[in-house]
Amino acid sequence: MKRIIPALLALMLILSACSSAPAVQSEPESNAIEPETFSVSFDGDLENVILPEKTEYQPAETVFFKLPHIDDKVFEFYSEISISRDYLADYDYCSFMMPAENVTITIRELEYVPEPEPEPEPEPEPEPEPEIPAHDNSEFVRVADFIPNAVINLRYATEDNFTGSVIYDFTDAYLRYGTVAKLMDVEAELEGYGYRLMIWDAFRPAEAQWTLWNIWPDAEYVADPTNGFSSHTRGNTVDVTLVGADGEWMRMPSDFDEFSTLADRDYGDVDFEDAVTNVLTLQNTMEAHGFIPYDSEWWHFSDSDEYEVEAEFAPPCKYEPGSLEWFNNVYFKSASARAFLNSEYADIADVNLYMLFYDGAGDSAYPSPDELEAFKVKGGYEDIYTDVSKFTSEQANAILIKYTGKTIDETNKIGLDHFTYLEEYDAYYHMHGDTNANTFVMDSLVADEPGIVRLTYYGWSGEQYIVSLAEAENGTYYIISNVKVTE
C-alpha cells in the first residue's frame, strides 16, 4: 500500500502538468482570458425586489432583476455601473451588463413624495379700460364710439321711413357728448335686463328737418322748423327702441314714425301685453337717467340738458365729395340747390331770383298780422287769396352764398321785382301757390377744366341741360351756370 500511494501522487502531478502545459499544435492568443465567474450582490431594503435566481455570471452577461411597478414606491440605486430601467407589464424591468469584477448594488426604497400639483397659471390681468379723452358736454361725438353694443339703424338714412326716400347722406349716429354719457348709463342698465338699444334717429341736420316738414307739415309728429326746429337738430334727442341681446326686435306698441294714437304714451289701445311691458321698461330706464319722453311718440326722448340748434355741424358723408353720387345724393339732394336749376343762365349773376326763392329755396316763414297788412298796402292788394310766404334778406343771402359765393347785390337781381319788399322788416313777401318740387337726376359728370365740373341732366320738358360748378376754396362747389344743350 505504501508503494501505491506515492505512485498515485506522482501520476496526478504528471497529469496536472500535462493539462496546464500549452498545446504544441496551437498556441493560445496573447489576449485570451481564462473563463471565470463573477458574482453580484444586492444590499438594502429588498422587500419589494424580485432577485435573479442565480448569483454567478459570466463577463459581459446581462443581469436582470425586477421591481414591482407600484405607483407609490420609489427606489434609489447606488452602484458603479449603469442600470437601465424600463417598464414591462406590472413591473419595473431593470438590467445592467456585468463587468469583470464583483458588483454590489444598493437598492433603497424611498419615501414616496407625490409630485406637487402644478401652480395654477395666474389669471391674466384685465386689459385696462381705454382712456376716454375728456369731452365738452356740447361736443358732437359718434355714438358707436361710446356705446358699441347699441344697434345703429338710422331710418332716414334708408328708404324705410314715412317719406319712402333717403333723407340723410350719412349712416352714423351723432349726439352731444353730455347726452351720450347719459345714454351709456341707459345701455348699461338695459343690458342687465338682457336688452340693447337700437337707435332710429339722433342728430338731424336743419336741412333734413325742412325736408321732413315739407313732406309732412304736421307739428304733432314733425317739428315745424319755423318754430325753433326739432330737438333732434339740437343733438340732444334720440329715437330708440329695444332689441334682445342677440339683436332680435322686441315687440313695441308700433313701428317707427307711426302717425296715429298707437304712437302715444297712452297704451290702453295696445293689444299686446309684452309690447306694453317692453315700452315701459324703455321709458322708465330712459327717465331714470335724465331723459324726457315725448307724449306723442313712444320712441322719442330728449335730454333734460338743453342745447342750441346746431347749424354748422354735419356728420361725415358716406359719398366721396365731388363724385357723381355725391352730387346726386348730397349736393342736389337739397331743395335749395335744386331750385338753382329752375332757370337758365350762362352766368350765375343772371339767375332768376323769383324762380329760385318762390320754389322754396331757403327757410321761408309765415308773416305776422302786421306784416300781412303792410304787404297788402305796399303791394296794392285788396285781398289775400292764398298763403303769403316771406324770406329775409339774411336768409336769401345765406342761400346764395352757400351755393354761389355771392349775395343778392352781386347778382343782376333778375325776378326780384316779383316780390314785395318791406324795408322795415328787411324781407321779401309773395303770395305762394302750389310748388312743383323738382327731382332732377344728374346722369353724367365731366371734368374737362381744372377746378370745373359739368353735370348733365334732363329737365321737365325732356331737354338736356348742363349745370357747371367751380370748386371753392372751402371744399364745396359753387354753381356758375345752367344752360340748355343745343344741337
**Calpha distance 361→335 (Å, rounded):** 6
In 357-462 the beta strands, taken as DSSP E runs, fall at 388-392, 420-422, 427-431, 444-449, 452-458
Residue listed under C-alpha cell 334727442: 237
Residue listed under C-alpha cell 343762365: 345
Q: Contact 461/455 with Cβ under 8 angstroms?
A: no
**Calpha distance 459→438 (Å, rounded):** 9
270-274 LR contacts (CB < 8 Å, sep 24+) = 274/250
Helix (H, G, I), strand (E, B) or coil at 286: helix
The rounded radius of gyration (Å) of the Cα atoms in the chain is: 50
In 12-139 the beta strands, taken as DSSP E runs, fall at 38-44, 56-57, 62-68, 74-78, 84-88, 91-97, 103-110
**Calpha distance 250→266 (Å, rounded):** 19
> Taking Cα atoms as reference points, which of 268, 244, 243, 264 lies closest to residue 254?
264
Active site residues: 297
DSSP 8-state symbol, 365? B
Cβ contacts of 20 within 8 Å, gap of 6 or more = none
Cβ contacts of 276 within 8 Å, gap of 6 or more = 253, 267, 270
Q: Contact 450/461 with Cβ under 8 angstroms?
A: no
**b (16+ CB within 10 A) / e for 10-29:** eeeeeeeeeeeeeeeeeeee
Cell of residue 442, nine digits:
344728374
Residue 136 CA, chain-centre distance (Å), reads: 24
**Calpha distance 343→248 (Å, rounded):** 50
Exposed/middle/buried for residue 427 (C-beta within 10 Å: 0-12, 13-18, 19+):
buried
Q: Which amino acid is at 176?
A: R
Residue 5 CA, chain-centre distance (Å), reads: 119
Q: Contact 178/184 with Cβ under 8 angstroms?
A: no
Q: What is the 3-state secondary structure (H, E, C) of 118-146?
A: CCCCCCCCCCCCCCCCCCCCCCEEEHHHH
